[in-house]
C-alpha cells in the first residue's frame, strides 16, 4: 500500500486540505482551540480547558510521525486558511500495536463528515505504522460514538470514572469495514479517501 500523501477535497461547497500536522501549525492550532465551545472542549478533553501551555502546544504539534501522528484539516477558502479539525493517534507505551485515538472538529464544521474523513485517514496511516488496534476513550453519554465503535469490532470495553475505554480493530481499507447498514456511510467515505490519496 502506498504511503498517504496530503490531498484536497470538497465538502458542502467548501474546499479543504488534509495533511500531517507540522511544527509551524501552532498558530492554526491555537485559533481552532479557541473556537471550541465548552461542550466540544469537554467531549474532547473531558474537562473545560481554557488554554494550552507552550509545553502542551509543542507536544501537540511537534511529532515524530511514528509513535505520535496527527493530521489537520484546513479550510482553504478566504484570505487566510484556517485549521478546522485534527485527528491524532498516539502509540501506547508497552503496547506497540495499539494507539489511542482522538479527533476534534470545531463546532461550526461539525456534522459535515469531517470527523469521518479524519478517522479514515488515521485508520490507513495506523496500518502503515504496524498499529492494528485503536483505543478510544468516550464519555458515557456519547452513545452514538460508542455504538459505532462496537460495530467496527470491539476487542475490549471497560468503564472508567467518566468514560468508556473501547479497543477496536484498525480498518486499513474499505474492504475491511463490515458490510452492515450503520457503517455504510463510513465505508463510502473510506472509498472516497482511498481514491484521493492513492
* CATH code, 123: 3.40.630.30
Q: How confident is the model at residue 78 (pLDDT cuts 50, 70, 90)?
A: confident
Task: Give the lowest-confidence range in 45-54, 152-161, 171-180, 188-197.
Answer: 45-54
Question: What is the chain's length?
Answer: 198
Cα separation, 40 vs 47, in Å, equals 10
* Region for residue 55 given its phi and psi (left: phi exceeds 0; alpha: psi -120 to 50; beta: otherwise): alpha
pLDDT (0 to 100) of residue 197: 86
* 91, 67 contact by CB (below 8 A): yes
Strand partners, 68: 90
Instruction: Give CA 32 to chain center in angstroms.
Output: 15
- When comparing pLDDT for 125 and 157, which is higher? 125
Cα separation, 67 vs 56, in Å, equals 17
Cα separation, 6 vs 178, in Å, equals 27
Q: Using the structure block, give the residue that is written with the C-alpha cell 511544527.
A: 23
pLDDT digits 0-9 by tens, 48-70: 556 778 998 899 999 999 999 99
Asked whether residue 163 is domain-assigned, the answer is yes
For the entire predicted model, the pTM comes to: 0.90
- pLDDT above 90 covers what percent of the chain? 59
Asked whether residue 106 is domain-assigned, the answer is yes
The candidate with the shortest Cα–Cα distance to 135, out of 154, 116, 118, is 154
Asked whether residue 171 is domain-assigned, the answer is yes
Asked whether residue 1 is domain-assigned, the answer is no
In this predicted structure, the answer to whether residue 44 has a pLDDT above a threshold of 70 is no
Cα separation, 27 vs 101, in Å, equals 23
Written in H, E and C, the secondary structure of 76-109 is CCCCCCEEEEEEEEEEECCEEEEEEEEEEECHHH
The candidate with the shortest Cα–Cα distance to 7, out of 19, 24, 21, 25, is 19
pLDDT (0 to 100) of residue 50: 64
Asked whether residue 63 is domain-assigned, the answer is yes
Asked whether residue 2 is domain-assigned, the answer is no
Averaged pLDDT of the chain:
88
Task: Give the lowest-confidence range in 8-17, 54-63, 148-157, 183-192.
Answer: 148-157
Write the DSSP symbol of residue 16: E
Q: Using the structure block, give the residue that is written with the C-alpha cell 488496534.
A: 133
In this predicted structure, the answer to whether residue 45 has a pLDDT above a threshold of 60 is no
Q: Which domain holds residue 143?
A: 7-197
Cα separation, 129 vs 44, in Å, equals 24
Number of domain units in the chain: 1
Amino acid at each position: 500500500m502506498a504511503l498517504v500523501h496530503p490531498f484536497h477535497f470538497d465538502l458542502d461547497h467548501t474546499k479543504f486540505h488534509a495533511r500531517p500536522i507540522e511544527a509551524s501549525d501552532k498558530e492554526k492550532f491555537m485559533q481552532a482551540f479557541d473556537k471550541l465551545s465548552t461542550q466540544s472542549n469537554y467531549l474532547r478533553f473531558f474537562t473545560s480547558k481554557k488554554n494550552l501551555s507552550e509545553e502542551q502546544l509543542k507536544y501537540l504539534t511537534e511529532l515524530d510521525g511514528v509513535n505520535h501522528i496527527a493530521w489537520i484539516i484546513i479550510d482553504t477558502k478566504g484570505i487566510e486558511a484556517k485549521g478546522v479539525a485534527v485527528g491524532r493517534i498516539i502509540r501506547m507505551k508497552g503496547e506497540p500495536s495499539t494507539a489511542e485515538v482522538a479527533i476534534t472538529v470545531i463546532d461550526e464544521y461539525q456534522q459535515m463528515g469531517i470527523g469521518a474523513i479524519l478517522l479514515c485517514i488515521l485508520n490507513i496511516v495506523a496500518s502503515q505504522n504496524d498499529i492494528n488496534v485503536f483505543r478510544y476513550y468516550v464519555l458515557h453519554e456519547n452513545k452514538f460514538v460508542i455504538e459505532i465503535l462496537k460495530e467496527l469490532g470491539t476487542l475490549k470495553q471497560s468503564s472508567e470514572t467518566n468514560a468508556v475505554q473501547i479497543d477496536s480493530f484498525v480498518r486499513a481499507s474499505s474492504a475491511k469495514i463490515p458490510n452492515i447498514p450503520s457503517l455504510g456511510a463510513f465505508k463510502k467515505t473510506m472509498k472516497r479517501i482511498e481514491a484521493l490519496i492513492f
